[in-house]
Amino acid sequence: MGIRLFECLSEIKGKLPHLQDLQLRIWGTQKSKLDFFEDAPRLVAVNYSGAVSLVPGLPWGTLRSFTYNGGDKDLGAVFALMSRCAPTTVFQLRRLDLSRQSDALDIAPTTASTASLILSIGVPSSPERASDILGEILDSLTLPALCYLRLRPTFDARPLHWPTPAFLAFLTRSACTTSLTFLELDAVISLDALVRCLSTLPALKTLFLADPRSTHSPNLTDALFRCLALVPDGDQASFLVPRLGCLRCTTRMRFKEAIFLAFVRSRAEVRRHGRTRPFEVEVSWFGGAQRGFGAGTRTALMEMVREGEVVLAITPYTAAPV
96 or 143, higher pLDDT:
143
Share of the chain above pLDDT 70, in %: 85
Percent of the chain with pLDDT over 90: 58
pLDDT, residue 213, reads 80
In this prediction, residue 116 has a pLDDT band, given cuts at 50, 70 and 90, of very high
Spatial contact of 73 and 98, defined as CB atoms under 8 Å apart: no
Per-residue confidence (pLDDT) for residue 12, from 0 to 100? 67
**Domains in the chain and their CATH numbers?**
1-63 (no CATH), 70-316 (3.80.10)
Q: Is the confidence at residue 7, as pLDDT, over 60?
A: no
Tens of pLDDT, residues 227-247: 999 876 655 556 899 999 999
